Structure formats: C-alpha cells, structure tokens
Amino acid sequence: MSMKQAGGNRKPGGINSGAAAASGAAGFGRQSLGRGRNSAKVPSAAVAFSGVYANMQMVHVLTSVVGNKCELKVKNGVIYEGVFKTYGPECDLVLDAAHRKSPEPSVGPRREDIIESIIFKSSDVVVVHFKDVDLNYAKKVSSEQDNFTDNAVSSRLNGEHKEKDLEPWDGGEQHASGSLESLDNDLSNGWDPDDMFKYNEETYGVKSTYDSSLSSYTVPLERDNSEEFLKREARAAQLAEEIEGSASYKARVALENDERSEEEKYTAVVRDSHTLNRENKYIPPGQRNREAGMSWGAGRQNSPRLVQCSPGPPAPRAGPHDYGTIPGVDQRVVNGGPPRMSPKSQRTPRTHRVASCRGGGPSGADFMSQGASGEVTAPPPARSSPSGGTWSSVVSGAHRPRSPRQNSMGGAPPVPSSLSSPQAGTVPVDSMTTPTSATSPTSASPSPNLAEAKESRIQETRQNSPSANKENVKPMESSSGISRLASKGPPSMTPDHRKQLDNLKKFSVDFRLQSSSNPDPVFETMVSKAPRDPGEKPKEQATDKSTTDATESSICDEVPVTLVATAAGSKPSTPSPSPSSAFGTVSEQKRGPDVTSQGVQTSSPAVTSTLKLDKDDKEDKKDPVPESVRKSTLNPNAKEFNPRPFCSPPKPATTPTLPRPQGQPSPSIVVQQPAVYGQHVCFPQMYPLTPVSPGVQKSIIWKSPAMYHVPVPHMTLSQSKPYRTGKVPNMPQQRPDQHHQPGTSTMMHPNTAAGPHIVAPNPAYSTQYFTCSPQQFASQPLVQQMPHYQSQAQHVFSPVMQGSPRMITPPTHGQPSLVSSSTTQYGEQTHTMYVSAPIHQQYPHPSATLHHHPQHPQPSATPTGQAQQGTQHGGSHPAPSPVQHSQHQAAAAAAAAQALHLGNPSQQQMYSALAPTPPSMTPGPNPQSPQASFPSAQQAVYIHPSQVQHGYNPNHMAHVQQAHMQSGMVPTHHGTPSHPVMLMAAQPPAGPQPPMPQGTLNPIPVSSTTHFSYMAHPQCKLLVFLLLNIYESKGFNFEQLMICCAR
Amino acid sequence: MTRRLYVSAALLLVSGRRKMAAPAAGEYFSIGGSVSCLTCLGQRLQGEVVAFDYHTKMLTLKCAPSSGKPNVSDVVLINLAYVSDVDIINDRTGTPPPLASLNFNKLANRARAEKEEKLSQAYAISAGVSVEGQQLFQTIHKTIKDCKWQEKNIVVMDDVIITPPYRVDNCRGKEGSAVAHVRKIVEKHFRDVESQKSVQRSQAQQTQKDSALSA
C-alpha cells in the first residue's frame, strides 16, 4: 500500500500504542499502511503509530516480505522456518506454518512438526533471513493505465494530496502533416463541399448534382452599378452591421463560436496563448460571404446570412432595424422612383445590407429578383421590388417565417411552383409574386390563389398604373414572367394590375392623407411593404384575372404548386377548404414568393396594400404602386426563384407553413390568423391591438397582444415585421402612399405599411393594412377593420363584433404600436397606425366592401371562393385557404407573418378591390375579377377582409375569424358556412373552431396560437425575438416555429 | 570509510547524545548505505540498509540473493541487540527512493498460499515420502502448480502419477503431452541434482550416474 511517507518522519512514539497492538496481526500491515497515510495526512492525529509502525521504511520492507518463507533464528540458536505472516508494533514477528528447522538438510518438515503460527518477540529474535525475496512482487501496478486524462494523471498522487500541477506538453516545433498540431493548425473550415463530393465520387461512385450556384433553387443576384442596387447593397450591409452589431447577435454567435476551444475550457493545463484562436472556428456562411465579399453566387451564404439576420432580428433592436430597414428598402424600392429619397436611400442601403447579409444564397433569388426587377423596371422599382424581396428575406431575418416561406415558396413551387411561389410569396409577403398567388388561385386553391393573385395583380396593376403602371406591370409581368415561365397570366395581370394601380392610386391618395402624417421611416417601411403589397396585389389581381384565364390556370398551377411545395398538405387541403386553405396557401405562397422574390411578392402584397392605400391615398399610392409593380418585376426574378421555392421548402418557413397549412387546412383561416398572429407577434405594434382586441375580439386582442409582446420586446422587429407584413401588403400601398407621400413619416409608416394597402384597396383596407403593416398591423387592421367593420357593421355582424374589438384594438394598436414603435421610427409608425386607424375607420367602407367580398366569396364558392380568397389571402390572408394558411403558417409563419400582413393587406386590397371598389378601383377590379371570375373571389375578399384586418395583426384572428365569423355570423355570406368551416378548420389548428361560435374570441386565441406558430416560422429568422415573444405569448407558436424552423 | 560500532554501547551512546530524539533509520544508518554486522552467533551479515528501528533495534538489510537468482534479493532482519559489532561500510547521501505502494492483498494471498503449500508438503512428508520424492515434488511444483501428494504418489494435473521411486519411468498416465512433459521435468530434475552434487541419495536416485558422480 502506500506506506511511503506514512510514518516516515514520525517519531516511533516509543510505546506500542494500544491501537497498533490492537490491530490484528493480519491487519497490521493494512492498518499500518492506512495509518501511514493518515499520519501523513494528519501528523497530529491521535492515532499515532507506535513502534515499528511509525517507521515507514521498516513497515514497508517488512510488509514487502509478507508471505515469504524465512528462517528465524532465536537467541538460543534454534532456527524456525515458516511463512512470514505479519509483525507487530514492537516488531513481534509472526510465522505461519513454522517448524523448527531440523539439522537434517533437505528433509521437509513433517506434518506434525508444523506449528500453525508462532509469534516471536523481537527481543528473542537474533536474525530473520528471507531468501530470494522479490521486493517488487507486491508493487501495485496501476489498473488505471488507460485513464490518461488530466484528471487521472493529476489524481495519481500516491500519498500526496495536493493538486498536481500539470504542465502543458510542448510538442516542439514539429509541424509534420501527421502531427497532432496539424489539426490545430488546419485553417480549413471543415470539409469543402467539393472535397466531399469528390470523395464520395471517388470512394462510392456517387456523382453529386450539386450546383453551387443553386441555379435550380434560386437566381443569382444580378449586380449592377445602379444607384439603387448600390443603395440596397449598402442598406444590406448596414442591416448586417446592425444585426451583427447587436449584443444579442453576438451573444448567440458566441455560443457557437466561442473563442475558447473545449481544450481551453476544460483542460486542467493552462496554456498561455491560443495561437489557434479562431483559425479553424466555424465561420457562418454569411460571415464567409462577407469575408469573401458578397457573392450572390453563394446561395449558402445568403441563407446563412438570412439566418444570421434572423438572429439579429431577434435582438429587438436589430430586428426592428432590420425591419425598419427592410421596410425602408421596400419603401425605397417602392419609392425607388418616388418621392422619399431618404427612405429609399436608407432602404436601399438596407436592402444592400440585407442582400449582403443574406449573401447570395437564398436571397439569391431575392437578389435575382431584385436585380431582375431592377433590370426590368426602373432601377428603383425593380430594386425596390427585389429589395423588397430581399428585404423581406432580410426582414425575414426578423420575419424569418417569411424568408422561410420565401425559400419554401421558392422551393415548393419548383417549376410551376417557382412561378407560383413567387406569386404566392408576393401575395402574402412582400414580393410574394402575386402572379403565383394569382396562379395558385386558379389551380391549387384556385379561388384563393386567384383572389390573391387578383388582388395582388389588381393592386399591382393599380400601383403600376398609378406610379409606373408599366413598371408595375412589367414587374408583374416579369414576375409573372417567372411564373409565366410556367405560362402564367402576367399579361392578364397587367389589366388587372392597371385597375389595381388605379385603385392603388386612389388609395395612395387617401393614403397620402394618412400616410402623410406617418413618419418617413415608417412610411418607408410602410411604403416598402405597401409597394410590395401593391405589386403582389396587382399580380394577384392579374393572376386572379388571369386565373380566370388559362394563364391563370397556369398561375394557379404555379400557385398550387407553390402551395404544394410550400405546403403540399396545405394545398391538398386548401382545395377543399380552398377558401381558407387557399388563402393560407396563397398567403404562404405569397410569402414564399416574397421570400423567393420579395420584389414580386412584396410588390403584389404591396400592391394590394398599396391598392388599398392607393384607394385611400390614390395618387401617392399609385406611385408606390408602380414601384411595387416594379418590385413585382423583381418578382420575375422571383419566378426564377420559384425553383428556389423548392429549396425554400427546406427553409423553415415553408415547411412550417406547409405543416401548418396541412394541419390547418380548414383551419387555414385559423392558420392565417395564426399567421397573422405570428405577424402580429412579430409586430410589436400589434400589441396595441391587443388592448383593443380585448374589448371586441379576443382574437384580435390576442393578436395584438401577441404582436405587442413580440413587438414590445422587439420593437424594431415587430415594427419591421409589421412593416414587412405591412409592407408586403402595405408596401404597395405604402410605397405608393409613402413614396408619394414623402411627408407622412410616422403615420405613413404604419399607414404606409398597412395604410398603403388600405389606401390602395380602400380606406378600410388601408387601415387594415396599416394595422397589418405596422403591427400595428394588428392594431391597424383592428382599427381599420374595426372601423371598417363598424362602419361596415352592415357588412358583417361578425365584423361588427370583430369590429368593435378591432375598433378597440385599433386604438390600442395605435398606442401599442406607438409603444412598440416607441422605438423612434416605430413611434411614428404607430402614430401612423393611429392615424391610419382613423383612416381605417374611414376605410370602413372598404372593409365593408371587403366584408361584402368575403360574403360574396363565401357564397360564391366557399371552397373556390375561399380558395380565391385564400389566394388573395394567401397573399394577404393565409387563413382563407388552408393551403395558403398552411403555407402561411408554415413557411409564411415567419415570412408569412409579413406576408400575411402583406397578404392581409393584399387581401384587404382584394377586399377593397372587391368590396371597396369604390374606394379604390383596385378593390373593384380585384374583387370583380376575382369575384367575377370566382365567386369565391368575393369570399376571398371576405377572407381577406377578415384576414387583412385581423390578419395582419391579429387580423387573421380578427379578420379570419371576423371574416369567417362574420361570414358565419352573417349568414349572408355563404362563406359563413364555408368560412365557418374554414374558420373551424383553420381554427382547429389554431383553435379556430371555438372561435366560430364565440367568434373572434375563440378564434383569436386559436389564431393567436396559430399565429404564433406562424410566427414561429417567420420568426425562424426572428427566432430570438419572436421566439421569446412567442414564448411569452404562446408556447404553441414557439413549437410551431420550431417546427417551421426544423423544416 | 568504515565505522565500527559496538552495538549496545554504541546505541547507548547514541541515544545518550541524542537524548530522546526519535532517531530515524537515517540517524544511525543511512538508508541505502552498506553495513556489515556480526551476530552474537558468529554470523556475519552484510547488506544495504533498508530500514532501522531504533526502539526495537531492528535493522533490515537487503543482501545478495543466496540462490544467485536475478531480480531477487535476500532480506535480513537483524536485532542489533545481538550483534557484536556493526561496520558501516559506506553511507549513502541523498534521499532514499520513494516507497512504492504495495498490494497487500497480493501479499496476503502469497502468505496463505505459501502456508498451504508448506502444510501440503508436510502432509506428504508425514506420509513417508522420501526426500527425493519431496525434492522432486518441489521441483515439479515450481513448473506445474497443479500437483499434489496422493499418499506417496505425486499426482500432476490429475493426469500423471509419479510413483516411488519417482524416476522417469515411474511417470504414468494417459499417453500425451502431459506425461512426456512431466517426464522431461523429472529427467531434468535428477540431472540437475546430480550436477549440483547436492545429491541426496535415495533409493530412487541411486542410479549409476549418481553413484558414479557421488563416488
């Protein structure tokens, strides 16, 4: 044992201590050993080793010979031979099997001669001779040889009980490739994909079809030296900086990229310098891009960036900024040509940032779309649209769902989907290629998609016509062109777009009034959103119109595809629940498109929103609309993105959306609501709504709360999201409005965001949009809706019901938005929101129209109509069609939130178009076309209204529920049944069904949950913000988000 | 340098000088130093000091192995009370090497095994086994642990039985490697015995060779 130091220095003690004596002979050794240790440890221990036991050397040697035969000679000369057994403290020796050695040599003892054991007193012993002793016999061989860890090494103290100071091993200067250090010095960041492919090809004969350009998923960003592009790039860089500069972002990044290696963290050896540092540390794709420069080609980078962005967004500040930036970009885009240079400039920078942030990856499509849009239409618009897309994607950072959706959208809609996806994306989200939505309406959930498409298209057309009809148209076309690739009906869109543009112009005029009050930033954001919305709407409208046509069918196909892609389940479901589902899908699709080609999508949404806004603001919005239209052009790129949509599915958003959609086919509405909620959640501003909502519609309230919550934490995000959403929907409107209405900053923003839509479509819409866009969305929508509803009370009792809540909410929203927006710009936005809210109230008519539309749609063909609505909604209201919802929920969730908002706006626009015909031509056109073509269109309108209003914020909650509820409530709406059904379906997911009876309340909760889920998706990017918010607000959302993310 | 100490007196003197100081082994004998002692029985012992206990006056020396085997050594425990004189051949400077931990279980097992073995032999001896037989048994036991006395017969591995007079021809058992192997051991044993000339003439051993050698 460890005798070593035991008694080494101890005094013998002179006396045989009782303890020592007490110890049995056999136990002596052990005890002595043990005591030795003890003594070593506690020198002053009471149990002092006595006698020989205190003599470490003696103890050791005597113990070592235990078991050996020995000859013991006593003083009388007799020799005893035996096995040394043990010894006592007085050195008494014990021999076992001892016998008196006979003089006869070599004669063994006889059995009777052997004595079991003999104890010899040391005083009698003269000499003890141990022969042939192996002193190393009992040396302990560590059985823990393998434990060559710092701990094991340091634990081998053998008596020493102080920490062993480990010394770092210096391998010298060898750097042979095979040396351990080579690993540390390896600067490579893991396997290069090419290496992996090469290895697999050589080793397994597997030939990869991987194309680093992701050409099958996205379109490379076309870089040009245009001012807009540079602005957007700068903007993107700025956003990236903001995001990456945020503490939360750093903290999260630090988790993954800890400066310290595991060795450094856990080793017991302290090394002075970490030469390796981060050489081999993981470099986020986005980072790589940056480092490498921003190459769009690197889709990965983009995606990473998106992710990064999303992280950034999570950080309240970053998020808001992002959103704000995004909106700004959108606005800029929208404004691109328009009035608000500053916003635009900011936006452009933002866009740039976004682009940079996202790199080329997923956004590649965005960029592409942007680039394309830019190319197609005037640089600004195009950019705006693209940027919108990018922004949306960027924003998606905040609105992860969207981005995901976009991605998903892109991914989902492979070919047709690609087109559709863009559309879908456009419709719901920013760039949601209205075309897709339009297309989607026709085919997948024809009605919804169509409706959306119509809306988007109409809006776009409107917008286009107003500001740059041609541009818008072009974008639309281009976007549609993308979709057209799939033989979409962009052309058809154009007429609608024009109408929409007109409407948008009208809205824009109205909007301007409202938006004028809005702060520029807000406006920008709003504008951006609005532009997108308009674009989307126009597209949607066009698509809707086209949907009626074969082109539409194609588009529809695309949409469906997108839907399918985004949420195959949702799509399937969508058809049946088509309205709601369709909407959901549409919205999702829109989102997807947005993501893919934000420009397009955004444009459509923007268009829708813009349409509303335009209707309100008309002229102003019109301008934005064109921009949005241009954005839509960007959408064309989005078309290319459509392929991406396929890829996008992978993205959280899409997948999430899909699941959601699936889960909520019928619930689609619910889904939408959820989505809306998500959006709302995203939008802090929405919170205001919550307060309001309590009064009237729980759903709304919920949304608003959610929104508020989210927004509050992430004011920027929420705002941004709202903006986005608002943008998407509003973008068109806002853009027009904002752009047109440079002055309206604060009001403008919210309004712009939501307002634009509202304006374009109808005042009500604008309001709704406002609510939606600002997170306000919720508030605005609520407000707007509320107003609308109230004003339109007729339209729907449910609306009234909702309306009252909404009404309440609006104010609250406004406040909340203000609060959330408390962040500077946001504040303005919130103001705008408020303003918008009032305006919205004015809008009531639109809303009424919307309601009417909803009713119509429902009656017309609950499924189809819903589908159409869905489409529209899809753009704006996910809820309408489960599919859309699903999409919204899933992919849209994040982007969806925005998209939803957008979509809602679009829907609103749609509504406006449908119902509000008066307010803004767009409504009429949209509704008309959709409605005309699709009775469902009216339904769609319905959905939209509900969605739009509620949608954006809680809007889905409110809108959908309201709409549905209303529809349901208002039996008038055939849709009611269908809607109810839809609601039920939609709600089921979110808990819509309950809502049905209770109307808004239940739906709201459900929707809220759903929204959250949606939110989750969107939030995927915003994860942090949203997640947190969502968490707080609702665990569901988080889970959904998680799911979405996973997907 | 060599010091001669007259144990009793010397120790007394030492103790007197150092009073009650607790003398460590090193104080009188440096661990590792070489010491030569002459016991009262006239036996001279020389070896390396391993340990010394003042109170019991027990000195432990490590000496060269009597068998001349490598890696082993003889250990002698000497009671200086019965030593007529102690010569310190040289002192070792510096600290002794650290003591290794000991596996006491292993030691205890060895003690038990040795005891059993001895008792086993004693039993056999008591049975009237010849010295040659005992020697052979010990030799075989060194190689093959599985051997025991059965009356006067040596049973190896429960397979080979060696009957008196324990010659090679007396090895019986199933034909196989075991018998052959045992025969080799037996053959070598007697050859070694003869070569060592430490022959114990027994009936069995009295071969011509042996006789010749002995003669």
The helix/strand/coil state of A834 is helix
Is this complex's ipTM strictly greater than 0.90?
A: no
Give the distance from residue A270's alpha carbon to the nearest chain B alpha carbon, in angstroms.
29
Most confidently predicted of A115-129, A542-556, B92-106, B192-206: A115-129
Closest CA to A784 of A912, A896, A928: A912
Give the helix ranges, DSSP H, for A16-156.
18-22, 25-41, 56-64, 150-155
> Residue B15: exposed, middle, or buried by beta-carbon count in 10 A (0-12, 13-18, 19+)?
middle
Q: What one-character DSSP code corresponds to residue A146?
A: T
Q: Do B111 and A75 touch (CB under 8 A)?
A: no
Distance CA A292, CA A967 (A): 55
Tell me which residue in A12, A126, A135 faces B73 most closely, judged by beta carbons. A135
Distance CA A358, CA A285 (A): 9
- Residue A916: band (very low, low, confident or very high) from pLDDT cuts 50, 70, 90: very low
Give the helix ranges, DSSP H, for A752-843.
753-759, 763-772, 776-780, 786-792, 797-821, 824-842
How is residue A89 written in tokens? 């403290």
Instruction: Write out pLDDT tens, residues A724-775.
Output: 333 333 343 434 333 444 333 333 343 333 433 433 334 333 333 333 333 3
- Residue A163: band (very low, low, confident or very high) from pLDDT cuts 50, 70, 90: low
b/e code A890-913 from CB counts within 10 Å (16+ = b) = bbbbbbbbbbbbbbbbbbbbbbbb
Q: How close are the terminal C-alpha atoms of chain B, in Å?
A: 48
* Contact yes or no for A653/A591 (Cβ under 8 A): yes
- Residue B129: band (very low, low, confident or very high) from pLDDT cuts 50, 70, 90: confident
Number of Cβ within 10 Å of residue B126's Cβ equals: 16
How is residue A870 written in tokens? 């869905």
Number of Cβ within 10 Å of residue A370's Cβ equals: 49
User: What does the CA dihedral B142, B143, B146, B147 come to, rounded to 10 degrees?
Assistant: -60
CATH of the domain at A83: 2.30.30.100
Instruction: Write out pLDDT tens, residues A116-152.
Output: 888 998 888 888 999 888 887 877 654 444 455 666 6
Contacts of residue A919, defined as CB under 8 A and 6 or more positions apart, other chains included, come to: A503, A506, A507, A510, A612, A615, A616, A761, A762, A763, A764, A765, A843, A845, A846, A849, A912
How is residue A924 written in tokens? 């009429």
b/e code A615-637 from CB counts within 10 Å (16+ = b) = bbbbbbbbbbbbbbbbbbbbbbb
Question: B-contacting residues of A 146-175, CB under 8 Å?
Answer: 158
Give the pLDDT mean for A309-324.
Answer: 37
CA angle A103, A108, A109 (to 5 degrees): 80
Residue B58 β-bridge partners:
B53, B79
Q: Do A126 and B40 touch (CB under 8 A)?
A: yes
The phi, psi pair for A624, rounded to 5°, reads -55, -45
3-state SS, one letter per residue, for A649-694: CCCCCHHHHCHHHHHCCCCHHHHHHHHHHHHHHHCCCHHHHHHHHH
Q: Do A2 and B74 touch (CB under 8 A)?
A: no
- Residue B166: band (very low, low, confident or very high) from pLDDT cuts 50, 70, 90: confident
Q: Return the residue matching tokens 């102080």.
A: A162
A61 vs B contacts (CB less than 8 Å) = 50-51, 60, 62, 75
A133 vs B contacts (CB less than 8 Å) = 72-75
Tell me which residue in B53, B98, B115 faces A52 most closely, judged by beta carbons. B53
Give the pLDDT mean for A900-918.
Answer: 39
Number of domains into which chain A is organized: 1
Does residue A158 lie in a domain region?
no
Does residue A106 lie in a domain region?
yes
State the pLDDT at residue A793: 37
Q: For testing the chain B interface, which of A132, A134, A143 should be mutated: the one with the most B CBs within 10 Å?
A: A132
Q: Do A63 and B104 touch (CB under 8 A)?
A: yes
User: What does the CA dihedral A528, A530, A534, A535 come to, rounded to 10 degrees?
Assistant: 20
Closest CA to A955 of A559, A625, A621, A678: A678
Report how far apart, in Å, the C-alpha atoms of A418 and of each of A400, A631, A827, A851, B204 are: 19, 17, 37, 32, 106
Q: For testing the chain A interface, which of B41, B86, B99, B152 should be mutated: the one with the most A CBs within 10 Å?
A: B99
Which element (helix H / strand E) includes B79?
A: strand B73-79
- Residue B167: band (very low, low, confident or very high) from pLDDT cuts 50, 70, 90: confident
The helix/strand/coil state of B57 is coil
Does residue A895 lie in a domain region?
no
More confidently predicted of A482 and B68? B68
Q: What one-character DSSP code corresponds to residue A207?
A: P
Q: Do B58 and A97 touch (CB under 8 A)?
A: no
Is residue A898 over pLDDT 70? Answer: no
Distance CA B31, CA B50 (A): 6
Question: B-contacting residues of A 11-40, CB under 8 Å?
Answer: 11-14, 26, 29-30, 33
- Residue B40: band (very low, low, confident or very high) from pLDDT cuts 50, 70, 90: confident
Asked if A353 reaches chain B (Cβ–Cβ under 8 Å), the answer is: no
Closest CA to A899 of A772, A748, A1038, A713: A772
How is residue B54 written in tokens? 């003042």
State the pLDDT at residue B33: 84
A33 vs B contacts (CB less than 8 Å) = 102, 104
A130 vs B contacts (CB less than 8 Å) = 74-77
Number of Cβ within 10 Å of residue A179's Cβ equals: 13
Closest CA to A943 of A927, A958, A928, A959: A959
More confidently predicted of A986 and A237? A237
- Residue A320: band (very low, low, confident or very high) from pLDDT cuts 50, 70, 90: very low
Give the distance from residue B76's alpha carbon to the nearest chain A alpha carbon, in angstroms.
5
Closest CA to A1022 of A319, A237, A248, A408: A319
User: Containing domain of residue A60, as a range?
Assistant: 51-138
Q: Please tell me the total number of residues recorded for chain A in this structure.
A: 1047
Question: B-contacting residues of A 108-147, CB under 8 Å?
Answer: 108-114, 122-123, 125-140
* Helix A490-517 × helix A434-442 angle, to 10°: 130
How is residue A179 written in tokens? 């040396």
Mean confidence (pLDDT) of chain A: 47
Distance CA A653, CA A228 (A): 28
* Contact yes or no for A381/A479 (Cβ under 8 A): no
- Residue A593: band (very low, low, confident or very high) from pLDDT cuts 50, 70, 90: very low
Give the distance from residue B117's alpha carbon to the nearest chain A alpha carbon, in angstroms.
9
Nearest CA in chain A to B84: A126
Nearest CA in chain B to A124: B79
Closest CA to A129 of A179, A46, A70: A70
The helix/strand/coil state of B39 is strand
Give the distance from residue A168's alpha carbon to the nearest chain B alpha carbon, in angstroms.
25
> Which amino acid is present at A660?
R
User: What does the CA dihedral A493, A495, A498, A503 come to, rounded to 10 degrees?
Assistant: -90
> Which amino acid is present at A859?
P
Is residue A481 over pLDDT 50? Answer: no
Give the pLDDT mean for A448-465.
Answer: 41
Distance CA A983, CA B210 (A): 116
Instruction: Write out pLDDT tens, residues B186-200.
Output: 888 888 887 775 545
Distance CA A222, CA A624 (A): 23
Give the pLDDT mean for A783-794.
Answer: 39
- Residue B98: band (very low, low, confident or very high) from pLDDT cuts 50, 70, 90: confident
Nearest CA in chain A to B121: A108
Question: B-contacting residues of A 182-221, CB under 8 Å?
Answer: none
Most confidently predicted of A206-215, A448-457, A960-969, B36-45: B36-45
Q: How close are the terminal C-alpha atoms of chain A, in Å?
A: 61
Where does A482-633 show beta strands of DSSP type E?
Answer: none
Give the pLDDT mean for A795-799.
Answer: 38
Q: For testing the chain A interface, which of B61, B80, B102, B117 should be mutated: the one with the most A CBs within 10 Å?
A: B102
Number of Cβ within 10 Å of residue A268's Cβ equals: 13
Contacts of residue A869, defined as CB under 8 A and 6 or more positions apart, other chains included, come to: A447, A448, A451, A452, A579, A580, A582, A583, A853, A854, A857, A877, A880, A881, A907, A910, A930, A936, A937, A938, A939, A940, A941, A942, A943, A944, A947, A975
A88 vs B contacts (CB less than 8 Å) = none
Nearest CA in chain B to A105: B200
Is residue A234 over pLDDT 80? Answer: yes
Does residue A109 lie in a domain region?
yes
Q: Which domains are assigned to chain B?
A: 33-90 (2.30.30), 112-199 (no CATH)
Distance CA A529, CA A333 (A): 9
Does residue A94 lie in a domain region?
yes
State the pLDDT at residue A507: 61
- Residue B207: band (very low, low, confident or very high) from pLDDT cuts 50, 70, 90: low
Contacts of residue A396, defined as CB under 8 A and 6 or more positions apart, other chains included, come to: A306, A309, A310, A402, A403, A404, A405, A406, A595, A653, A724, A894, A895, A898, A1018, A1021
How is residue A978 written in tokens? 């269908």
State the pLDDT at residue A668: 37
Distance CA A438, CA A871 (A): 7
Instruction: Write out pLDDT tens, residues B60-89.
Output: 988 888 877 778 888 999 988 888 888 888
Is residue A247 over pLDDT 80? Answer: yes
The DSSP-derived string for A523-567 is HHHHHHHHHHHHHHHHHHHHHHHHHHSHHHHHHHHHHHHHHHHHH
State the pLDDT at residue A537: 41
Closest CA to A857 of A946, A960, A941, A971: A941
Does residue A97 lie in a domain region?
yes
Instruction: Write out pLDDT tens, residues A606-629.
Output: 333 334 444 444 444 344 444 444
Residue B79 β-bridge partners:
B58
Instruction: Write out pLDDT tens, residues A487-535.
Output: 333 444 445 556 666 666 666 555 544 444 444 433 333 433 433 444 4
